[in-house]
Structure 1
């Protein structure tokens, strides 16, 4: 499976807090590009887990986050690394 996942350890307080899902279309097309973003996404305190589906035509970035993290926050992180990203609409 070409979905790359990184699940961070959840503290008991994080498990009980409200979590929301953010979905984005990206131009992240390889494992090398994922590795470039990995340190930023892993160290972000409001990101509980994330994955990028490299097989999907939209190269979907899926973020499980605390409710105080916004779509704009994620878009800023990804754009700052030179990638295209936009909110994936239903």
Structure 2
């Protein structure tokens, strides 16, 4: 299992609710979490395929937010 991290513009629980269906519909995602207490509003994605980073970013953009890959564990 791989972990991918993304800095996002999701600021609150309402934003998490909006992005949820977009992230839940992605293939190869085993789970995800957005840390709203982190200054980068860090989205952590658990996946079996670490090549889906662009798909995650596109899903967040489709939900109306921004996302940028970051190299955090």
TM-score, with structure 2 as normaliser: 0.87
Q: What residue number does 1:65 align with?
A: 47
Unpaired stretches in structure 1, ≥5 consecutive residues:
1-18
Q: Secondary structure, in 3 states, of the residue corresponding to 2:58?
A: helix
Runs of 4+ aligned structure 1 residues displaced above 3 Å come to: none
Larger Rg computed on CA atoms: 1
What's 2:66 paired with?
Answer: 84
Pairs aligned (count): 72
Q: TM-score, normalised by structure 1?
A: 0.72
Unaligned runs of 5+ in 2: none
Instruction: Between the two structures, name the one with larger relative contact order (CA 8 Å, sep ≥ 6).
Output: 2
RMSD over aligned Cα atoms: 1.4
